[in-house]
Chain A
Amino acid sequence: MTASFEVKSLSILNEKGEADETLMPSLPDDDIKRIFELMVLSRTFDEAALSLQREGRIGTYASMLGQEASQIGSALAFEKSDWIFPSFREMAVYITMGYPMYMLLQYWSGDERGARAPAGLNIFPVCVPVGTQIPHAVGASMAAKYKGDKAVACCYFGDGGTSKGDFHEGLNMAGVFKLPVVFICQNNQWAISVPRRRQSASKTLSQKAYSYGFEGIQVDGNDVFAVYKATSEAVRKARGGGGPTLIECFTYRMSDHTTADDSSKYRSNEEVESWKPKDPLLRLKLFMEKKGLWNEQYQKGVEEKSKTAVEQAIRKAESLSPPEPADMFRYALKSPTPRQAKEMEDF
């Protein structure tokens, strides 16, 4: 028996802001503006979070700078009722799904109450261990399929995550059971200090899907239209019973791995500089300018609005009372054991 596959790829919007009209998803002008505004808001949040960390006002933070198109373009393709399993860098996914920004800051300051998703939103807390959320998403999609509720599960991870057993085992199961799940790999070229070429000998990461019996596609991860289109199609396929898809968003981590990292020690400045013209925000701006959707005044307005929203979120997060010490015991189990109850009482 011979098996063959083709590595699919998709790119719509180039660095000059020119879109391939034959591939362009149908997006009304207002939606395009909303995408741009979400990008600016996410970047404003990201910059503020980095400052807050440096000032000691939140803990270690993982910046998503440069990955806004991968995150926003994909998140827009999901319904609020879908099950989203992020890793630790997906702040723009949270923001796009409507997660309150003050709660994100609350989480990054170490307060687990910030991880309680608001009612009606099935987005899971930040998953710090690499790739362990992949089987969880598969399980959620299995439950959705069993309950027949039409929800789709989505899982985010990075290039590093594809080396984990959880990735192989989880995707294998998703393929075997033909589950409604979309895997989004943000290949940002670096897993902390390990470059993509040292992560896998596969030419693309998306081709791994074929060994699990479903389709994979590599998209330009800095092209919000390509990411949105590929994800929308994967979601439609999953909801219609067509099984899983692996989407590789080819992008770049412009920032350090986290605030605890210094990437200048292991990657060249030239490499980082070479990605700057590929910036997802820049090319969307150029596209909008050509279409008459962008001008300086609009930019200023969006920036102002974003800054105000982020400042409000910071104020709200910092005005919250710290968690009670008893919370430590309160949430270890759904109901405490007698010994825990006693420990809580004696605390």
Chain B
Amino acid sequence: MRNNHNKKECGPKGKRLITFTAAINEALIECMEKDPGVFVMGLGAPDPKGVFGTTLGLQKRFGTGRVFDMPISENAMTGVAIGAAISGMRPVMAHQRADFVLMAMDQIVNSAAKWHYMYGGQASVPLTIRTVVGRGWGQGPQHSQNFQALFAQVPGLKVVAPTTPCEAKGLLTASIEENNPVIFVEHRWLSNQMGDVPEGYYSMPLGKANVMRKGSDITVVASMDMALEAMVVADGLLSSGISVEVVNLRTVKPLDAETILGSVAKTGRLVVMDSSWYEFGVSAEIAAVVAEKGFDSLKAKVRRLGLPSVPTPTSPALAGHYYPSEADICLAIGDVLGVRLNPRKLGFKDVVGDVPDEYFKGPF
């Protein structure tokens, strides 16, 4: 499977628009058709909601032997997937909330991430763990956490975080093809985002970031929901003559330091956005890499934007101020550039909405 990389880049626009959810579904179908060792397990995998629609139709197509629900035991379920993976299968586990994965930390960190090393390189764990990160609609402290940094710190794991539907399909395929355990982070707010997605089987390389938008004045590094927010602000700043380059991570680990450093070498300025808490987070790592290896290119201080170090509030009144707003991003960019910007005049919202679009309706 590994040698059959059929790489396709995401096209500009409009050839075949499908949602992020449909793209995940397509990736699962195509991987299962290609490799009989791929199976899908997890709480709710075959139920009528199908993990927010991503696993719908799979059981009908591939049968109960390859798509099935499990007893509510996240830790053992992960252990079972590890056991199946080391004996030649490619399990894909789905967790409807990343928060539930904490129950399986022991199996992920002490077993999945370690087996290849502790087995002297003899057996690997080709396991994909999908973790859905919630946001808004009152999901609150225990249903909307993104543990990307927690996982990225563990040697032996890879962490993937797609933004566009095209990336969702290509990166999920690559994760399933990957011979190491992968934590695949899916942001709930991207579910209904439409994008051009190539037909047929393809994978995108893990560890390669993407310059989503070229610019010359400042680099904004972001991923998932934050990458889309950065794009909105970058668009809105054009009228002020500010050219923002947006680097979309695609993969948190391996981190594509080369692309980030290349962009900063060009712009000399950096704002890093985090879809999780910024303290000790992925944004901290990126800022450190640039300070260490790209210090000479920097013309100004580096700014980080992410979630404050408090649990996610449930109330929309509070959540609106919890996530970085367009205005926050605009002000951070202005701060690093040394220019005074007025977000309101530029049309940037200073309070974040509680849902990404009209399709986003609970209860979940």
Contact = CB atoms under 8 A, between A and B. Distances in A.
A185 B120 CA distance: 27
A198 interface: no
A136 B77 CA distance: 9
Contact of B79 (A139, A147, A176): A139
Nearest to B114: A332
B86 A136 contact: yes
Contacts of A138: 76, 79-80, 83
Interface stretch (A34-42, A108-116, A237-245, A287-295): A108-116
Interface string A229-242: 00000000000000
Interface stretch (A87-95, A165-173, A278-286): A165-173
Interface of A is mostly: helix
A135 B119 contact: no
A172 B83 contact: no
A144 B79 CA distance: 15
A337 interface: yes
Residue of B119, B120, B178 with most chain A CB atoms under a 10 A cut-off: B120
A129 interface: yes
Contacts of B257: 338-339
B106 to A, nearest CB: 6
Contact of A132 (B110, B118, B178): B110
- Counting chain A residues whose Cβ lies within 8 A of the other chain, the interface size class is 35 or more
Interface in A153-201: 153, 165-166, 168-170, 172-173, 176
B59 interface: no
Residue of B76, B82, B119 with most chain A CB atoms under a 10 A cut-off: B76
Contact of B120 (A114, A141, A166, A170): A114
Interface residues of B, number: 46
Given A333-B116, A339-B254, A135 B83 contact: yes
Interface in B240-272: 253-255, 257-258
B76 to A, nearest CB: 3
A332 B113 CA distance: 8
Contacts, number: 145
A132 B70 CA distance: 18
Contact of A143 (B83, B118, B178): B83
A137 interface: yes
A278 to B, nearest CB: 34
Given A116-B121, A129-B106, A165-B76, A338 B83 contact: no
Given A129-B106, A140-B83, A173 B88 contact: no
A125 B116 CA distance: 11
Interface string A114-139: 11110000101100010010111111
A134 B79 contact: yes
Contacts of A146: 39, 65-66, 84, 89
B142 interface: no
A330 interface: yes
B76 A170 contact: yes
Contacts of A337: 158, 207, 253-255
Interface string B114-138: 0011111110100000000000000
Which 6 residue pairs are nearest across A and B when measured between Cβ atoms?
A: A139-B83, A135-B79, A169-B76, A169-B73, A337-B254, A136-B83
Interface of A: 83, 85, 112-117, 122, 124-125, 129, 132, 134-144, 146-147, 153, 165-166, 168-170, 172-173, 176, 330-335, 337-339
